[in-house]
Structure 1
Amino acid sequence: MSISVDGTFDFDEQPDEPSRFAALTEEEISAVAEIEGLGFTLYSVIDDFLVFTKNNGERAYKGIHRREAAEVAKSLKDGTDEHEHARGIVRPTDNYVELSVREARRGGWPIGINKWRWEQSQTTCGHAFEPSEDERSFHVSGPDETTCIELSRASPIANFLLADSFTARTATRIQRMYTIKILFSEDRSKIELAQEATDITDRLFFELDAAHGVQLVVTPRERHRVTIPRTHTRDKGMRVRFPKMRLPREVSALFSFAGEAADNPPFMFLSYYQVLEYHLPLAARKEGLKAIRRELQSLNFDEKDDSSILRLLNCTERNKNTSEEDQMKTLVTECVRGDILREFFDNQSHGGHFARKGPISGVPSINVSSSSEKLEVQVAKRVYALRNRIVHAKDNPRYAEMPVLLPRSKEAGLLAPDIHLARLLAIEVVVDSQG
């Protein structure tokens, strides 16, 4: 394996693993030709396995048994698309969706569902189903048997598209993963298939968890990990000092937990937000104290005058009724240095993330050049709105236009710039609180 000038991977002309090019039958040669015509290249034949690579330069090998070559070729030719968000496939021609599944408590995939035994339901839907000998599979139908769900080993086409290996030899040894298969009897579009399959799978997993404590999850197509940019490079070294800052344990624990939640972007954002939330009463007090001082310093203030005292009382009443969003505006305005905030948005690596057409919907955009609204206020409004999208899942018309941001959604995988912003705000607020 070598890397070309443009950064893509060039597979060597000769496989770097021992291989034996067995004689292929005419049917197998025809199947290989069809597969190669659909974006793959036969790399080698090892034992009874055909090992392919994708033509896009990915450093991955895909193995299938020779006897499955014709079936894989037909599935590719008929139209099999990879699922947009999950490790899975969608086949509109067969009204069929297949999703890789794993136990939530086990990190890797593919896995064996090696603890659970399922009672087999009697169905007359007509789908071919052969339960595994160890009872690790099931096939159940809906009330009218127009939709069925099956848990079993992956089909040849799913295993071919979803199971990647970094060496040709191990591509022949990958254990066939378990997948959830959703079979529909009525025609649906690709989008409808994916949406309805997700809905049915979510409901199934909820019932398995609630009734039996069995926690299964669909494997996401990509697991996004948010990395925190380092402010010091290794060659410069890092200056270590005895800690001068004093902060409550709740704050330090929440800030540290964000790093542990790097593979769950919404949780990571919420951890930094909770650091800000801890300091919201401080912001409310600051606003109230400023208002009281203004009244006390007024030339018209008279401690013997009831109207003057009432104005002081009004200051405290307004402080009590301040909304959390307004408190957040005060916190950011009072505790975050404006030049540091502008320096953050001058960083071109964010691209158009914070712009009006950015990838996160339902939150205000940020315009650094705006003359109608201060940058600090824009930032506070966005951070608060994003927090609401993550924590609010109420069946309430008020939130109809602001759907909950789910942990493994496409948007969740794009949260990194907002997380970096929340982290910056948290640090600034903690430092400001030292005074």
Structure 2
Amino acid sequence: MMTVDNNPVAGSLKPNSPLLALEKKIQAAGISCEWTTSWDESALLQIDIASGRSSRAVLISEEDAPTCLEMDFAKIRALGEYEAFDALEENPSIEVALTATSGPTHRLVERIPGWVTATPEENLRTKAQGSVTITGTRGEDWSAEISSPSKRFSVFCSFGPVTLKLKGRQLRTYPEALTFLESAGNAILFELDLKYGVSFTFRRMRPVGPMRFGRRTHQNASAPTLPKLQYAAEPLSLYRYARSAVGMPLLEFLAYYQVLEYYFSRYSQRDLLDKLRNELRDPNFRADDERQLSRILRITRQPGRGYGDERSQLKATVRYSVSEDAISDFFSANPEVLGYFSAKRQAIAGLEPVDPKRKKGDLADLLCERIYEIRCRVVHTKEDGGGQVDSLLMPFSPEAESLRAENVLMRFLAQKVLIAGAVDLPA
């Protein structure tokens, strides 16, 4: 661990800085920490808080250091993928940030019977919004509270006007704490929605590193001009719906898939019609020749390219709308997405890597196989008949979050399919 003597960040602090005292306390507790800086070059101490078998980094400023000196970091753990922390103290408490999903937070909480709004003096002094306590009728050994973030929580997570606190339940292990948060906490939020029409969800950690994806588009310097093409209204509406599904990768994926699906009937039959047309145009074709009629029947029944089941229709649609070179150029222009698709260990279990440079077979076919498999795992949300339970892509899961990279490709394909299906716009 670096010290003041050999670390320029720590060396910029005054000798009596509470942040230096906090570093010594953290090191004495055997907890990993290191120095870093904020956007304005202010010193920050990054502390690795236990989170099951892993850890979560939190950044502590010099302003927050005095509050942290009063904490026992060995008795604090982060929970799951949420902005949630568990304090293993004499008065145990789990605290998780809430996000309103059906309106402004301050309006929603006021609709909960028992909500007590903070006085102007309390708001000025502690920035408190108010609180409501939730108790049981069966002699439970725990209670809940929706209120402004605690002072400790505000240090770890600056998000949000309110948090949910589960108080009083002694939970020794990390799995016990996470399970209690998810089962009891989600039950509370569901019943608040059921009874009062207020909808909240647990705040999740923002994706970092490879989980952040955004398609790199060519910067067009020319001024916009009136369009020359007219796009089909229904799939264009689905495309716009997908673009509006911010933070909902499962919904975004399905909307893009529906854009492709809209054209299945058109392109899945194109191959078949071409083959039939060529047979019927042959001058030697005779309608009274049973052998030739049998050949016609075989053509209509074959599950070949662009005809047959949904998987084949997907391939036909993508193959008609997007060239192999265009797909390769897409990956070349988006190296982060390429790295995600070609990684040996895929973020979504069961998927095979797709590397345009080392492909084994048709690139469009490989991608369509992947898209169709994901589609099935999103849609088939049942235990029997739809695959194994652990193969489903559930909302808010790490696998569902990884769809952000898949959706960069899906947006590209949806755009190409819309262009392929467009007609000239009257001048």
Q: TM-score, normalised by structure 2?
A: 0.71
2:81–2:204 Cα contact (<8 Å) kept: yes
Alpha-carbon separation, structure 1, partners of 2:420 and 2:68: 65
Out of 97, 101, 125, the residue aligned to residue 100 of structure 1 is: 97
Flag structure 1 segments of 5+ consecutive residues without an equivalent: 1-8, 16-21, 44-50, 121-132, 165-174
Out of 214, 221, 242, the residue aligned to residue 227 of structure 1 is: 214
1:280 is the counterpart of 2:277: no
Deviates more, 1:338-347 or 1:397-406: 397-406
Aligned partner of residue 98 in structure 2, secondary structure = strand
Out of 388, 395, 399, the residue aligned to residue 387 of structure 2 is: 399
Aligned partner of residue 137 in structure 1, secondary structure = strand
Out of 143, 165, 170, the residue aligned to residue 180 of structure 1 is: 165
Alpha-carbon separation, structure 2, partners of 1:390 and 1:251: 20
Q: Which residue of 2 aligns with 1:341?
A: 327
Deviates more, 1:196-205 or 1:134-143: 134-143
1:113–1:178 Cα contact (<8 Å) kept: no
Change in Cα spacing, 1:301 to 1:328, as seen in structure 2 (3 Å) is: same
Change in Cα spacing, 1:330 to 1:30, as seen in structure 2 (3 Å) is: closer
Question: In the alignment, residue 421 of structure 1 is paired with which amino acid?
Answer: L
Aligned partner of residue 85 in structure 2, secondary structure = strand
Alpha-carbon separation, structure 1, partners of 2:285 and 2:141: 78
1:377, CA displacement in angstroms? 0.8
1:32–1:73 Cα contact (<8 Å) kept: no
1:330 is the counterpart of 2:316: yes
1:257, CA displacement in angstroms? 3.0
Alpha-carbon separation, structure 2, partners of 1:397 and 1:148: 40
Flag structure 2 segments of 5+ consecutive residues without an equivalent: 1-7, 48-56, 116-127
1:287, CA displacement in angstroms? 3.0
1:61, CA displacement in angstroms? 4.5
Alpha-carbon separation, structure 2, partners of 1:380 and 1:200: 40
2:148–2:161 Cα contact (<8 Å) kept: yes
Q: Which residue of 2 aligns with 1:211?
A: 195
Out of 90, 97, 107, the residue aligned to residue 86 of structure 2 is: 90
Alpha-carbon separation, structure 2, partners of 1:318 and 1:389: 27
Change in Cα spacing, 1:317 to 1:397, as seen in structure 2 (3 Å) is: closer
Change in Cα spacing, 1:301 to 1:119, as seen in structure 2 (3 Å) is: farther
Change in Cα spacing, 1:280 to 1:34, as seen in structure 2 (3 Å) is: same
Question: In the alignment, residue 134 of structure 2 is paired with which amino acid?
Answer: H
1:97–1:183 Cα contact (<8 Å) kept: no
1:418, CA displacement in angstroms? 1.4
Q: TM-score, normalised by structure 1?
A: 0.70
Q: Which residue of 2 aligns with 1:137?
A: 132
Aligned partner of residue 399 in structure 1, secondary structure = coil
Aligned partner of residue 200 in structure 1, secondary structure = helix
Q: Which residue of 1 aligns with 2:398?
A: 410
Change in Cα spacing, 1:232 to 1:253, as seen in structure 2 (3 Å) is: same
1:197, CA displacement in angstroms? 1.7
Question: In the alignment, residue 77 of structure 2 is paired with which amino acid?
Answer: D
Pairs within 5 Å for 1:110-129:
114-118=109-113
Q: Which residue of 1 aligns with 2:71?
A: 73
1:382 is the counterpart of 2:373: no
Out of 205, 208, 228, the residue aligned to residue 244 of structure 1 is: 228
Out of 193, 198, 202, the residue aligned to residue 177 of structure 2 is: 193
1:337, CA displacement in angstroms? 0.3
Question: In the alignment, residue 397 of structure 2 is paired with which amino acid?
Answer: S
2:130–2:148 Cα contact (<8 Å) kept: no
Alpha-carbon separation, structure 1, partners of 2:213 and 2:336: 14
| % identical equivalent positions | 19
1:392–1:404 Cα contact (<8 Å) kept: yes
CA RMSD, Structure 1 to Structure 2 (Å): 4.5
1:143, CA displacement in angstroms? 5.8
**Matched positions, count:** 380
Change in Cα spacing, 1:371 to 1:251, as seen in structure 2 (3 Å) is: closer
Change in Cα spacing, 1:113 to 1:222, as seen in structure 2 (3 Å) is: same
Alpha-carbon separation, structure 2, partners of 1:116 and 1:65: 36
1:349, CA displacement in angstroms? 2.8
Question: In the alignment, residue 419 of structure 1 is paired with which amino acid?
Answer: N
2:102–2:198 Cα contact (<8 Å) kept: no
